[in-house]
Amino acid sequence: MSYLALAKQVEARLSGREPSLAAPFAQDPKPTPVPALCQALRAFFAMTAREVDGDLPAPEEAQALLSEIRRLWDDVGPAFAKVVSREEAWAYYRETRRCPYCGEPGVFHDPERGGEPA
Ligand SMILES: [Zn+2]
């Protein structure tokens, strides 16, 4: 199991999606941000691909999504958010065969390699 998958499992338990395990944490109802960050990143990657296909997002839609990602990034913590983002980007690429960052088909511009195709 990857570190991200393990973290998601722990987060799911703590966030109450598994009620029997969440009971001891009932006094802390604050939702955990990792699944929300993954979802927001996916929406961003998909928006980028749509843009390449000529379906431009409304500026306020893009701005709202980026603001949400920044907020969730801080909530998760930048070091872990970077790990989450990298795994989500690779998962998106494996599923869609499009670069998560620029939407180009058939290539993954890996930030860890200075944007060179992986
Ligand atoms: Zn790219």
Residue type, 3: Y
Is the predicted pLDDT of residue 72 greater than 90, yes or no? yes
pTM of this prediction exceeds 0.85: no
Is the predicted pLDDT of residue 20 greater than 60, yes or no? no
Flag whether 49 is in a domain: yes
Ligand 1 centre and the CA of 108: distance in Å? 6
Range of the domain at 37: 1-9+33-104
Ligand 1 centre and the CA of 31: distance in Å? 32
Ligand 1 centre and the CA of 2: distance in Å? 24
Is the predicted pLDDT of residue 45 greater than 90, yes or no? yes
**Least confident range of 28-37, 50-59, 62-71:** 28-37
Ligand 1 centre and the CA of 32: distance in Å? 29
Flag whether 117 is in a domain: no
Flag whether 88 is in a domain: yes
Flag whether 59 is in a domain: yes
Ligand 1 centre and the CA of 104: distance in Å? 6
